[in-house]
Chains A and B, each alone.
Chain A
Amino acid sequence: MKLLETTGLGINFGSLEALQNVNFSIKPGELRSIIGPNGAGKTTFFNLLTGVHPPSKGQIRFKGEDIAGLKPHQIARKGIGRSFQITAIFPELTVFENVLIPAMYYHKGSKARDRVMEILEEVGLADKTNEVAGNLSHGDQRHLDIAIALTCKAELLLLDEPTSGLPPEESLRTVELINKLKNEKGYTIILIEHKMDVVLKVSDAITVLYFGRKLAEGTPEEIQQNEEVQKAYLGGMEKGFSLSQKKGERAKSTKREILRLEKVNTYYGESHVLQDISLMVREGEIVSLLGRNGAGKTTTLRSILGLTPPRTGVITFNNETINGKPTNRIVKSGLSLVPAERRIFQNLTLHENLELPFFLKGIPAQEKREQLEQAYEYFPAMKDRSHHKGNRLSGGEQQMLAVARALMGHVNCMLLDEPSQGLAPLIVRHVAEIILEINKAGVTILLVEQNALMALALADRVYVIDQGQIVYEGTPQELLSDQELSQNLLGV
């Protein structure tokens, strides 16, 4: 007997098919994890289940009843509770009130208060009832979020990345809680998670989503062996990655350090995303930062650039301390960013996008012209499209543009965030070759990637980040030669 079942579930946002033909079912008492790369549709799936959006296609049945198209509050009343990736609590109310007010909908008077204490005991917050929720530690806030989800007489719990942003000890506590909820209390749980060790430990079964479709489903062992899944995580490429140029021909790196992060700690709200991160890049090197989704790769780049300034720690570039400075000063000192979603200005043409970085930088016209020419030399395909507006460029063209744009101005060190994402293998190769060329011309590269093979083929040195901490530093050869290590750190 299935507790929840979806058939042919799909949703479109405009022309984007966020979910396609998802068939999913879960039995009572089961714990199912949903995994998949960013943008696979995991949170969208939860949104459909909780009524945030009505599905475009397909059905959702809960306990045999069709719930597709119901409003969120109606679905909650049926017994589906949800916790959120970005902790959703009521910050100015006390812990007790946070749980009491939802509970009072479902219980009367003193029964409600009893139930609240019951729930708070379950999640381990019974001793903190009078604390203001906003002042709790992040881990406690997460537990509170789960507590709120329990109030609706839930039979099914949807937990969205409950351990994201938590330091290891807190993460462990949360996992224990999840286990307790499943084994002792009999809740049925669907879990979205990135931390593979957590997933493998608690799940009865795993469903893998990839670009809106269900890619695979099975027990943890089955999924670990599944080649399709491995490919999806490693970038959909054959083993090995060959480049037309040999590594040896690249510019020799000098020993001078150009970028250093020293015990950097960055938070999103209370979420401790980067924990004592230290890394270093030498002038002329290509250094790669690898890791899974949610590990903290993008946050590291954002911290360097000052978009998400670190709370503690020191970042130095070219012997200057840059953390705490405004972004425009940091960029002026020679850093530039190719962001993960490319972020081309759709309302400007390709050429205008390329020109924008020169604004107010005081770069002489001659030099500007030369740099623009150089950009078109790196990416000749852009010449034909230079008058097209951003929204008419293909994904590959936008990626080229994003890289070219990041070259404009005085750039000594380029930060690239997952440049291979969503691109066909041939284009990925082209991008990789361009990165080599740029590096040859003297630009230091810090490359963040999920596609390990591409990054390992390019990099002089590699760092691996996991759950906000650096867990490995070495050369690509060292990493690849240690089978077990690379499996653990990179593979499924």
Chain B
Amino acid sequence: MRAVLEVNIQEADFDLRVLQASLLQGRAEEGGVATFTGYVRVNNDDRGVQSLYLEHYPGMTERSILAILEESAERWPLFAARVVHRVGRLQPGEQIVWVGASSAHREAAFAACEFIMDYLKTRAPFWKKEQGPQGEHWVDARESDETRAQRWQGQQ
């Protein structure tokens, strides 16, 4: 089985219903779709966030996420997996990232979705800059994200 994999990097918002449907291939073989949607929080480490700017590395961003999707499809029997990530200026409450995976059974769909998100956090070249009452601030990477991503290593 060859999974259908897709990556979209865009400034525009996205429609959850359309994305969910895009993981189904029309043969009613999927038993489940797991998805994750990330939103821009209004505060981060006790700092107020008025807006967020997402910088990325065009080219490498798409390649690195596709590599993560390919790895997920090697680990679990997926029909489809997709990532949509927004860039540019975003406001609190807006959707920023979406990950979805479809499979015959829920276990693979749940696991793949979490794996993709954990790897995206530590391997995909995005950088967040917050704008708040105290001015601008580059967001620091979290140790906990690295720890979460490392859980998958050596695990099949």
State whether these chains interact.
Answer: no
